[in-house]
Copies of this chain bind each other. A is one copy, B any other.
């Protein structure tokens, strides 16, 4: 299935999610791990669309989200910075999800400067993250359910 850039933008306006997770992590210098991720969740019956997105962006994984819902997910910093961010900068979303994307990009920029490795930077990221995804369907904008970070 070959996708069009505008179709991808429209579909992500509907189904995509830019999420920044923060979790306690003893081994991290600031005691907190910052986990930005881009996901698109679909019912299992439409898994072929998720694989088409994976092929389109040339990165990410397709995994179970929860129950019968699957997720296309990108977590690797390099892929987020070199593939996801440039795409949505060039093809702006039309819904308020664009505002979430701008915040997501700001967090990635802070991380590129190492801000997430110090407490002050983590607090700055926490504030930005708390202002994202308001009004989103909660279910589809939570981190994917699996444990283990094998795909990072």
- Give the residue name and chain of the B residue nearest to A134 (CB): B45
Closest 3 A/B residue pairs (Cβ): A14-B14, A10-B10, A6-B6
What CA separation (Å) do A3 and B134 show in the bound complex? Answer: 24
Contact B49 A94 (CB under 8 A): yes
Q: Mark A1-13, 1 if CB is under 8 A from B, else 0.
A: 1011111111111
Q: Mark A64-78, 1 if CB is under 8 A from B, else 0.
A: 000010000000000
Q: Assembly of this chain: how many copies?
A: 2
Chain A interface size, as a band, is: 20 to 34
Q: For A14, list chain B residues within 8 Å (CB).
A: 10-15
A114 to chain B, nearest CB (A): 34
**Which residues 112-145 in A have Cβ within 8 Å of B in the complex?**
134-137
Q: For A11, list chain B residues within 8 Å (CB).
A: 10-11, 13-14, 94
Q: A7-B6, A15-B14 are in contact. Are A42 and B95 (CB under 8 A)?
A: yes
What are 12 contact pairs spanning A and B, CB under 8 A?
A: A7-B9, A8-B10, A9-B10, A10-B10, A10-B11, A10-B13, A11-B94, A14-B15, A15-B15, A42-B95, A45-B96, A45-B135
Given contacts A9-B10, A137-B137, 18 further A-B contacts (CB under 8 A): A4-B6, A4-B10, A6-B7, A7-B9, A7-B94, A10-B10, A10-B14, A11-B94, A13-B14, A14-B15, A15-B15, A42-B95, A43-B96, A43-B135, A44-B135, A46-B96, A49-B95, A68-B135
